[in-house]
């Protein structure tokens, strides 16, 4: 067994007991990346020097008997949406090519303070807009389970790097499902924390009222350990929650006996792949056997979530992306006829088609005469969607659904059809609209060997319970132990 | 909702995007389809429903107004596509 086949917690143990070193682990990651990333394309760029320096510092600490935390020395990587001081950050967009941030995102600072070497920046959809990683300006990422298929998006690189065993943990962001959907498509675990649980400071904004940075890993335990590093109040982010951080691993093995799990009928949608449905139903049966009670619940406004999301997110994006004008950073088009022309040319040449589509949609929805009909109405429907969840959580402890209605699809299959691509997020985005935590974990494979994900959604700041419910299933099944054939 | 090419051009102007003619035509078709799909929201009666503008579940917190070090001009300008002294340089605004 190679070092990179270990889970994050297994590596942490080996580091603690001195069976391996942080430098050895980091070199193993870099070697694995050199071996497979030409095919997977999970990384946009590496920071070998920075990672090895951090690993050496970690080993030096260990030699003197001090550690920064339980994950000191464990190599990770972050989505290219996180600012990294001194390391180019592009958000997978041409408009930011060459941008070298002068500071770190808070989440990145926290990884560094925990002693974790950051080996590089991960591929994603441009500005986190997409569900297949194909909108990356630097080329699509490939699913390690089948290289002709997408790993999902927008945190496709974060998921694929884990499935390909290139690093032990990653960071992603989830605005409409961008952590959970790629986790489901790659047999990995992804957590979208409660809005405000993990700081957005230094995370390039897509839709500010929905964006949630979060951890991804190969097991539920790995994700719990990473969340422990990331969850805290950040005075630099006014939307960061000052809510106490529990010990996420304390009750991880407590099981599900006595818990009530809601099964919303609206999530078993028409057009869902029958093999996905079968795997999810089998997981539900497994939970019953473990002592949980399944409760039918209804979230009646679910069918309006997609339309609500595709008005609100582009509206916020059109405003956030106004800052890319070629003046302060990034790409500037060759100068034409004055300032306005420079803006227009810079933005037309700098942004890819999906980003422009969403800017246009958002600008239209916010423009004079349409604000009430589109944006304001969508915000009101958002209230109805939130109230559905509030009502359901008076009856149940968590809600269980499929993460994605279909397994990984072929690269190129949906690129020209935005509406069919948007449907990929149908199960995940209500959770973002309501600001709730959501966890995706492996729950089976199709006959073709493609992973299927299970989604758990919980009450605000109830991540610990979601992780415990996820862990109860994981302990009984070997899906997370199955490795992609690569 | 059918968007005309003229409307697309108007919105592109608001968004400071200089689209090509073929982009304008493509977006007219694609945006019309998305707007048709989102028209579904009109089915709902939202009379009296308060809008949710944010997912934040905790009240916004204010931090102490204490001075902190900020970026030096050199670092703030380090990514500028064009600069003049300690300023970002842009094309002429007034003729």
Q: Does residue A308 belong to the interface with chain B, where contact is any CB pair within 8 Å?
A: yes
Q: Does residue A19 belong to the interface with chain B, where contact is any CB pair within 8 Å?
A: no
Q: Does residue A232 belong to the interface with chain B, where contact is any CB pair within 8 Å?
A: no
| Band (A50; pLDDT cuts 50, 70, 90) | very high
Task: Among A151-160, A215-224, A268-277, name the one with the lowest average pLDDT.
Answer: A268-277
pLDDT digit string (tens) for A360-388?
999 999 998 888 889 999 999 999 999 99
Quote the minimal CA–CA distance from A90 to chain B in Å: 12
Residue A154 annotated in active site: yes
Residue A112 annotated in active site: no
Averaged pLDDT of chain B: 90
Find tokens 């630097």 and name the residue: A138
Residue A199 annotated in active site: no
- Cβ contact, residue pair A384, B80, below 8 Å: no
pLDDT at position A464 over 70: yes
pLDDT digit string (tens) for B55-78?
665 566 778 889 989 999 999 999
Quote the minimal CA–CA distance from A383 to chain B in Å: 5
Contacts of B21 in chain A (CB under 8 A): none
| Band (A420; pLDDT cuts 50, 70, 90) | confident
Contact A135, A178 (CB under 8 A): no
Q: How high is the pLDDT of residue B44? A: 95
Q: Does residue A97 belong to the interface with chain B, where contact is any CB pair within 8 Å?
A: no
Q: How high is the pLDDT of residue B57? A: 59
Contacts 24+ apart (CB under 8 A), B4-8: B4/B28, B7/A364, B8/A360
Flag whether the pTM goes above 0.95: yes
pLDDT digit string (tens) for A113-151?
999 999 999 999 999 999 999 999 999 999 999 999 999
Number of inter-chain CB pairs under 8 A, A vs B: 180
Question: b/e string for A272-306 if b means 16 or more Cβ within 10 A?
Answer: bbebbeebbeebbebbeebebeeeebebebbebbb
CA distance A25 to A458: 35
Please give the share of chain A, as a percent, with pLDDT higher than 90.
Answer: 93
């Amino acid at each position: 067994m190679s070092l990179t086949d270990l889970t994050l917690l297994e590596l942490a143990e080996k580091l603690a007991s001195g069976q391996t070193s942080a430098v050895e682990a980091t070199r193993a990651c870099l070697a694995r990346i050199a071996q497979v990333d030409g095919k997977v394309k999970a990384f946009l760029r590496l920071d070998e020097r920075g990672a090895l320096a951090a690993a050496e510092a970690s080993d030096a600490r260990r030699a003197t008997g001090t550690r920064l935390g339980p994950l000191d020395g464990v190599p990770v990587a972050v989505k290219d949406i996180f600012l990294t001081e001194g390391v180019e950050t592009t958000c997978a967009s041409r408009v930011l090519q060459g941008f070298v941030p002068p500071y770190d995102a808070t989440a990145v600072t926290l990884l560094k303070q925990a002693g974790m070497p950051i080996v590089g920046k991960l591929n994603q959809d441009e500005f986190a807009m997409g569900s297949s990683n194909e909108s990356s300006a630097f080329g699509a990422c490939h699913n390690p389970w089948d290289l002709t298929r997408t790993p999902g998006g927008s945190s496709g690189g974060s998921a694929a790097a884990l499935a390909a065993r290139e690093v032990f943990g990653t960071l992603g962001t989830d605005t409409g499902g961008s952590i959970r959907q790629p986790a489901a498509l790659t047999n990995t675990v992804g957590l979208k924390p409660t809005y405000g649980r993990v700081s957005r400071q230094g995370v390039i904004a897509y839709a500010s009222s929905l964006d949630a940075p979060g951890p991804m890993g190969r097991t539920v335990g790995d994700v719990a350990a990473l969340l422990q590093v990331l969850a805290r109040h950040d005075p630099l982010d006014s939307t960061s929650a000052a809510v106490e951080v529990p010990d996420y691993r304390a009750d991880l093995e407590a099981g599900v006996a006595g818990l009530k799990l809601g099964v919303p009928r609206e999530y078993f949608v028409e057009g869902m792949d029958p093999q996905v449905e079968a795997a999810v139903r089998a997981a539900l049966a497994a939970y019953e056997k473990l002592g949980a009670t399944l409760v039918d619940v209804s979230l009646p406004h679910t069918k309006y979530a997609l339309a609500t999301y595709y008005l609100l997110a582009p509206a916020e994006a059109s405003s956030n992306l106004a800052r890319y004008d070629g003046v302060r950073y990034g790409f500037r088009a060759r100068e034409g006829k004055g300032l306005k022309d420079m803006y227009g040319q810079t933005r037309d040449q700098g942004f890819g088609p999906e980003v422009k589509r969403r800017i246009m949609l958002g600008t239209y929805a916010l423009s004079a005469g349409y604000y009430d009909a589109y944006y304001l109405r969508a915000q009101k429907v958002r209230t109805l969607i939130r109230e559905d969840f509030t009502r359901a959580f008076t009856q149940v402890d968590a809600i269980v659904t499929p993460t994605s209605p279909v397994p990984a699809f072929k690269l190129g299959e949906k690129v020209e059809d935005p509406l069919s691509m948007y449907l990929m997020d149908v199960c995940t985005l209500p959770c973002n609209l309501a600001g709730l935590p959501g966890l995706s974990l492996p729950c089976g494979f199709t006959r073709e060997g493609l992973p299927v994900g299970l989604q758990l959604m919980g009450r605000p700041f109830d991540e610990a319970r979601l992780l415990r419910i996820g862990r109860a299933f994981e302990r009984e099944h070997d899906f997370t132990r199955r490795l992609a054939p690569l | 909702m059918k968007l005309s090419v003229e409307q697309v051009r108007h919105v592109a102007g608001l968004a400071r995007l200089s689209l090509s003619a073929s982009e304008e035509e493509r977006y007219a078709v694609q945006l019309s389809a998305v707007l048709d799909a989102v028209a579904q929201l009109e089915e709902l009666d939202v009379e009296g429903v308060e809008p949710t503008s944010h997912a934040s579940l905790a009240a916004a917190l204010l931090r102490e107004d204490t001075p902190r070090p900020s970026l030096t001009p050199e670092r703030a300008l380090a990514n500028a596509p064009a600069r003049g002294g300690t300023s970002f340089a842009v094309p002429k605004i007034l003729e």
